[in-house]
Amino acid sequence: MQQINPITFVHLSDIHFRKNANTPYDAFKDIRNELELDAKDRANALGGVYGIVVGGDIAFSGKPEEYELANQWLRGFAIQIGVDPAERIWVVPGNHDIDRQSIEKSLLIQNIHKDLRADASMIDEKLAAYMVKDEEAKKLILKPLQGYNDFAARFGCDLSPEKPFWEDDVTLNDGSLLRIRGLNSTIVSDEQDNDASHKLVLGKRQMEMTRQDGVEYLVLCHHPPQWLFDQDTAEDLFVKRARLQLFGHKHRQRLTRIDDGVRIASGAMHPDIREPNWQPRYNFIQICIKRDGQRTMLLHVHPRVLREDEGGKFMKEAQDGGGEFREFALPLPVWQSPKSMAKPATVSNSVPITEAALVNPRGANMRSARKLTYRFLSLPHHRQLAIAQQLGLVRDEDEGARDNELYRRYFSRAQEEHKLEEFWNAVEKVSAELETGHDSTGAA
């Protein structure tokens, strides 16, 4: 597959970072080390990695300290395999990313959950009422996800009533687009979740992917359709509109061809050690477009599994015929790239990603909104505020807003006032100061 320039993703799910990560009582430290060693080796063998997709359950109980540990590990892991964490990590929430204490303390949130689970035919109407029309409900409905949102905002993957899902485009080898859509299946997630009487909710608006010439969808969602109250709608729209479907949650890997698409139910990187026969897993996914009489998406899925009987190392899971990957050839509509289409994304190991490279982006092509978001939200809060004040981006109405919402306001105002270049320069200056251990504010 390498000769036709594939895009390669590392696919993780259910990473379940706990507060004791990196302590002597961390049950998963050795597993992460083995995954890092294996991923570096496979990344080199496959010609490099474009990005990392994480299918939910990033934390274990939705607490800020768990997300900080997850962020530190993801950043380091990305750099090890040659991925820029500022632009090429995508995440969605899972049920372990919910802070259940915030639900237990609020009868209003509990009542919203009960109402949304009452009638599958009314889900979309009720979601619109809570997410759009009811100002008090808008403040509450995603409150249990606040820890996730603070973490995910730096990757552009935070969620809100105004942004119930996120999208990002990747250019494939023929100039067409792979549009990654991240879905939120945790809107009503609580301690009662199950796949029978207390299913989860997505809503049709999240699942309606607009068809466009030269665009294929990859859906990233934690809960598979059988866990959804609106399962029938999900099954129908995912099959019709998404070429690739990536799910987590079940801790069991399944690769399934469905019509002209593929569903990948991921294994877990950090399963619960109490689970019987548990095996940590992750995947490499390679995607390219082939033209050989017919336009085809060629998909190679490389499952990797930890084998205790082989010295506790990650190894290939042999596919049919003994190969190390499973191949899917998915027929695509006829499409011809216009001459003005941007060149496809490529991966090169010739210039490794380093901490210095993240602080000092090289060239205008790296100065993306996504990179600015990551770098700004990675700064200490007091330095973020100092930059916003320096540029005159702070307003009285900002009081009480969370970091991810504040950043959206700052960025929007910087755009409107033609201050984006100043914003970039200020973030670069502070990043450089912190990188050298110098904090000009004198704060601890």
DSSP 309-351: GGTSEEEE---GGG-SSEEEEEE-------TTSPPPP---SSS
* pLDDT 10s digits, 326-352: 999 999 999 988 864 444 454 443 334
Q: Are residues 388 and 326 in the same domain?
A: no
Residue 330 confidence (pLDDT):
96
4 vs 20, which has greater pLDDT? 20
- Residue 211 located in a structural domain: yes
CATH of the domain at 150: 3.60.21.10
Q: Which of 296, 313, 331 is the last residue of a domain?
A: 331
Residue 356: pLDDT band with limits 50, 70, 90: very low
Q: Which of 293, 314, 331 is the last residue of a domain?
A: 331
Residue 354 confidence (pLDDT):
42
DSSP 268: -
Q: Are residues 229 and 178 in the same domain?
A: yes
Q: Are residues 273 and 371 in the same domain?
A: no
Q: Are residues 319 and 374 in the same domain?
A: no
pTM: 0.89
Please state, in angstroms and as integers, the Cα–Cα distance from residue 22 to each residue in 18, 39, 87, following that order: 9, 20, 26
Q: Are residues 318 and 400 in the same domain?
A: no
- Residue 337 located in a structural domain: no
For 282, phi then psi, to 5°, come to -160, 175
Residue 438 confidence (pLDDT):
64
Mean pLDDT of all residues belonging to the chain = 87
Does residue 45 have a pLDDT over 90? yes
Non-local (6+) Cβ contacts of 193 within 8 A are 95, 199, 200, 227
Q: How many CB atoms lie within 10 A of CB 200?
A: 27
Domain total in the chain:
2
* pLDDT 10s digits, 363-419: 334 358 888 899 999 999 899 999 999 999 999 998 888 777 888 899 999 999 999
Q: Are residues 101 and 176 in the same domain?
A: yes
Q: Are residues 265 and 378 in the same domain?
A: no
DSSP 5-72: --EEEEEE----B-TTTTSTT-TTHHHHHHHHHHHHHHHHHTT---EEEE-S--BSS--HHHHHHHHH
* pLDDT 10s digits, 81-91: 999 999 999 99
- Residue 342 located in a structural domain: no
Considering the chain, what percentage of its residues have pLDDT values greater than 90? Answer: 66
Give me the domain span that covers residue 55.
2-331
Residue 4: pLDDT band with limits 50, 70, 90: low
* pLDDT 10s digits, 218-277: 999 999 999 999 999 999 999 999 999 999 977 677 888 999 999 998 877 877 667 667
Q: Are residues 40 and 89 in the same domain?
A: yes
- Residue 70 located in a structural domain: yes
